[in-house]
Amino acid sequence: MRGPGAAGYFGLSYLEASWRKWRQIQQGILDMGFAITDMLSAFQDYLLEDIVFLDWAHMAPAPVKEPDIPFYVSTVYRLEMVEEPRPLFFGWVEFEQDFYYDEEFCGKE
């Protein structure tokens, strides 16, 4: 981002992040010099058939019906930079498996 006045967008869901993680992400956004200007809840939803066709369904021991409700719903954030950027990380960041599979994900809290 170029500096104050620049805007950005990203999505976040409850599937990948608990309320605690949402708070940590939001705090990081504020610490970097952004304001959260908008959050549009349930902005994007995904049906399973939009992502992957149920090729494995024919192998199930009982009939499997495709779901008729979204399996993933995302909230979109709009950010605006209000101060000079203060990145939390510099350079290339490699996200290893433990970034996604933490204690919370594994139920060890």
Locate the domains of the chain by residue range.
Answer: 7-106
β-strand partners of 75? 12
**pLDDT confidence of 105, banded at 50, 70, 90?**
low
Q: What is the CA radius of gyration of the chain?
A: 18
- Whether residue 26 contacts residue 102, with contact meaning beta carbons closer than 8 Å, is answered with no
pTM to 2 decimal places: 0.67
Higher pLDDT, 105 or 90: 90
Q: pLDDT (tens digit, 9 = 90+) per residue, 11-22?
A: 888 777 788 888
**pLDDT confidence of 97, banded at 50, 70, 90?**
confident
**What per-residue confidence (pLDDT) applies to 16?**
72
Q: pLDDT (tens digit, 9 = 90+) per residue, 69-86?
A: 666 778 899 999 999 989
H or E segment to which residue 103 belongs: helix 103-106
List CB contacts of 66: < 8 A, sequence separation 6 or more.
48, 49, 54, 57
H or E segment to which residue 92 belongs: none
